[in-house]
Amino acid sequence: MGFLRTASLLLVFLGQCHLYPFCVVPTDQMKLVTTFLTKILQSEVDKVSNGNEPSASVVLSLRLAQQHNLFLEQGLLERLEENVANPNKTDPLALYVLAIQSFCKDPSLIPAPMLLDDYLKVTPILFEELNKELCHIGSQGKPLTSYFNIFQDVLALCLMGQKFVIQTVNSLLWSVDYNQLGEDGKLSVDTDSMAIIALTCLRQSLSPRTAAYIRAQIQTTLEMLFHQVLATRQTNGLFGDLYSTGLALQALSVNYVDFDCKTTMQTLLQEISLGAFDNSIAASLIIPTLSGRTYLDINKLKCSADQDNLPLTDSDTASSGNITVYYTVIDDVSNTFRDSIIVSLPVGSTLLDVLKKAAAMSPEKFSFTTRLVKNLGLFVTSIQGLTSNNYQTYWEFFSGSNMLYEGIGGYIPSNGENIVARFLQF
């Protein structure tokens, strides 16, 4: 690997996690990025509103953006937490862990009421998955799933502050050096990039007492991976192909590898304007880079400083024909529950339509009953089994903090409105 060691001249291991200084979105292109983020957020909200599971990858990328819609993001988090213990979930556990951590929450114990001890202990599960993969590589020469999943597990564990035994580190490095992570001899930019990010996290987490030869081995392996990724760079700045470039940029940026990032950024922004990243999963791979962040920033986020500065506007409504309503039910009497959901409905839908859609999406939290009062219309008598008593308790609806005086059958919410149902006491 002597020729690969020359790549070390490109590296400055500063132990920091932000992009190379000139790899930024030009000021005059920031409006394009804002519109892009809004479109991806709306797409994910619509998906969840139609009863589908949110993408952990998309939620994670939105959390790494510089602009936020805090209510919608919180709603997406709650749906992720509901699905994380589901054996049929669509994303790997590591992605859920990374997404939950991006909300400044400790993912080491995730609530899972359906389990015997009410928690999903993710750390031992991830370590077990990783060990099975490494054993399979040792005996069969290939992983059970993929090298990409392996290094995603490593990254999730590393960002939770977990320590790896020397044998595991050696096995990881051997799997890279021996197999070079390609399939059938073909280079995988995505896999190499994820390996770089995970191994960089691992290298930064090593204590000063760690043997020097381990540090040297990690650096040598990283240099080989950099050489492979840089070798795929095209004249337009893309690495591999358009959809591999976002992850490659993260991998190179966290290690301050010098390359012409300006050209790459110009190409990505042009492709965004042409609609190349309208698919939310594809978009999730470049959103962190557009925001000047990488996956290694996940455990450095200051969520209390997040600005609520990404609203869904009326123009978004007109283009999609739908509105998005944030619906929350709160027991203010006994404080037994506070549940929220994101509902997407056609323009002109009533508040009753919102309640019906929420109940269909999550009946255990939003089921309700009504009573028809002559000359007054429908009144909600119970939500989540909590029944009003005309002489003691009742359900009241609010738009934000303002009480609604119109009935649920007549009130028409606007796009982005926050509807709250409160169980109150006389």
Span 168-216, pLDDT tens digits: 998 899 888 776 555 554 558 999 999 999 999 999 988 777 778 888 8
pLDDT at 15 over 90: no
Q: Which region among 64-78, 109-123, 218-232, 300-314 has the lowest average model confidence (pLDDT)?
A: 109-123
Find the mean pLDDT for residues 309-317: 66
Highest mean pLDDT: which range of 3-17, 287-301, 316-330: 287-301
pLDDT at 14 over 70: no
Percentage of residues in the chain having pLDDT higher than 90:
54
Cα–Cα distance, 167 to 173 (Å, whole number):
10
pLDDT at 294 over 90: yes
pLDDT band of 9, cuts 50, 70, 90: very low
Radius of gyration of the chain (CA): 24
pLDDT at 12 over 60: no
Q: What is the pLDDT of residues 323-338, one digit of tens each?
A: 889 899 999 999 999 8
Q: What is the pLDDT of residues 126-161, one digit of tens each?
A: 999 999 999 998 888 888 999 999 999 999 999 999
pLDDT band of 5, cuts 50, 70, 90: very low
Residue 241, annotated ligand binder? Answer: yes
197 Cβ partners below 8 Å, 6+ apart? 151, 155, 247, 250, 251, 254, 294, 295, 296
Number of H-type helices and E-type strands within the chain: 16, 10
Answer with the residue of higher pLDDT: 389 or 13: 389
Answer with the residue of higher pLDDT: 163 or 182: 163
Q: What is the pLDDT of residues 91-127, one digit of tens each?
A: 999 999 999 999 999 988 777 766 656 778 899 999 9
> For the chain, what is the mean pLDDT?
86
Query: Vertex 122, ends 121 and 125: CA angle to 5°?
Result: 100
pLDDT at 13 over 80: no
Residue 28, annotated ligand binder? Answer: no
At residue 179, the pLDDT reads: 63
pLDDT at 258 over 90: no
pLDDT at 78 over 50: yes
Find the mean pLDDT for residues 368-372: 92
At residue 185, the pLDDT reads: 47
Give which of 1, 2, 11 is closest to 226, Cα–Cα: 11
Give which of 26, 77, 95, 55 is closest to 303, Cα–Cα: 77
Cα–Cα distance, 146 to 129 (Å, whole number):
12
At residue 37, the pLDDT reads: 95
Residue 116, annotated ligand binder? Answer: no
At residue 202, the pLDDT reads: 93
Percentage of residues in the chain having pLDDT higher than 70:
89
Give which of 161, 133, 148 is closest to 195, Cα–Cα: 148
Query: What are the structure tokens assigned to 261, written together?
Result: 């990032």
At residue 256, the pLDDT reads: 82
Query: What are the structure tokens assigned to 389, written together?
Result: 């008593």
CA distances from 308 to 95, 140, 351 (A): 24, 50, 25
Residue 309 CA, chain-centre distance (Å), reads 18
Find the mean pLDDT for residues 78-84: 85
Full set of structural domains in the chain with CATH:
14-305 (1.50.10.20), 314-425 (2.170.130.30)
At residue 119, the pLDDT reads: 77
What is the torsion angle, in degrees rounded to the nearest 10, for the CA atoms of residue 358, residue 359, residue 360 and residue 363? 130
pLDDT at 4 over 60: no
Query: Vertex 163, ends 162 and 168: CA angle to 5°?
Result: 120
